[in-house]
Amino acid sequence: MSNNLLKPGHPVHDLARKYIFPVILLICSFGVYFTHYGTPNAMFWDENYHVASAEKHVQGVMYMEPHPPLGKMLMGLMEVVIGANNKVDKHKFLETDHIEGADTPPETRYTGYRWPSVVLMALSVLFFYGILRRITKNNLIAFLFSSFIIFDNATVIQARSAMLEGIQLFFILAELYCFVNVVTRGTPIRLKDYALLGVIIGLGISVKVTSAIELLLFVMLFGVDQWRNIQTLNYRELAKRVVITAPIGIGAVAIVFLSIFYIHIGMGTKVIAGHTYKASPEYLQAIQGGDTWSFSTFRIGLRDNLKYMSEYADGVPKLDECKPDENGSFAMDWILGKKTISYRWDKDTVNGVVQVKYMNIVANPIIWFSVAAGIVLSLGLIMSRFIYGQKEKDAPLFYWICAFTSLYVFYMLAILQIERVMYLYHYLIPLVFGSINLALMFSYIYREDILANNKHMWINLSLFVALVIAVFIFFAPFTYGIAMTEDQFEMRNWFSFWKLQVVQ
Partner 1 sequence: MKAIPFNKNIVFSVLLAVIVFAIVNRIIPPHVSPVFDVVISKNRSSITDIHQTRDIEISRTAKVDVIDLADKSRFRHSKLGDLGYANDFFVDINAPFTVKKSGDYIFFVGSDDGFALSIDDRQICEWTHDRPLTVDPCRINLSEGPHKFKLEYFQGFGNAGLTMGYAFASDGKQYIAGDDSKYISFSKK
Residues that bind partner 1 (CB under 8 A): 354, 366, 445-446, 449, 454, 456-457, 460, 463-464, 467, 471, 474, 487, 490-492, 494, 504
- Three-class secondary structure assignment of 10-53: CHHHHHHHHHHHHHHHHHHHHHHHHCCCCCCCCCCCCHHHHHHH
- The span from the CA of 214 to the CA of 196, in Å, is 13
Is residue 247 reached through a cis peptide bond, with omega within 30 degrees of 0 on the bond before it? no
Closest CB to partner 1 among residues 52, 471: 471
Amino acid at 157: I
Phi, psi of 277 (to 5 degrees): 55, -130
Closest CB to partner 1 among residues 100, 490: 490
Whether the CA torsion 134, 154, 199, 201 is positive or negative: it is negative
* CB 92 within 8 Å of CB 99: yes
CB of residue 354 vs partner 1: minimum separation in angstroms?
7
Report the run of H or E that residue 361 belongs to, with start and end.
strand 353-361
Closest CB to partner 1 among residues 30, 474: 474
- The span from the CA of 336 to the CA of 371, in Å, is 10
- Three-class secondary structure assignment of 446-471: CHHHHHCCCHHHHHHHHHHHHHHHHH
* CB 503 within 8 Å of CB 345: yes
CB of residue 388 vs partner 1: minimum separation in angstroms?
20
Closest CB to partner 1 among residues 231, 349: 349
Closest CB to partner 1 among residues 124, 437: 437
DSSP 158-180: HHTSSSSHHHHHHHHHHHHHHHH
CB of residue 359 vs partner 1: minimum separation in angstroms?
21
Q: Is 389 exposed, middle or buried (0-12, 13-18, 19+ CB in 10 A)?
A: exposed
CB of residue 454 vs partner 1: minimum separation in angstroms?
7
CB of residue 463 vs partner 1: minimum separation in angstroms?
6
Phi, psi of 84 (to 5 degrees): -65, -20
CB of residue 387 vs partner 1: minimum separation in angstroms?
23
Closest CB to partner 1 among residues 88, 354: 354
CB of residue 250 vs partner 1: minimum separation in angstroms?
44
CB of residue 488 vs partner 1: minimum separation in angstroms?
10
Whether the CA torsion 30, 36, 41, 47 is positive or negative: it is negative
Closest CB to partner 1 among residues 407, 465: 465
CB of residue 446 vs partner 1: minimum separation in angstroms?
7
Composition of the chain by helix, strand, coil, percent to 5? 65, 5, 30
Closest CB to partner 1 among residues 419, 490: 490
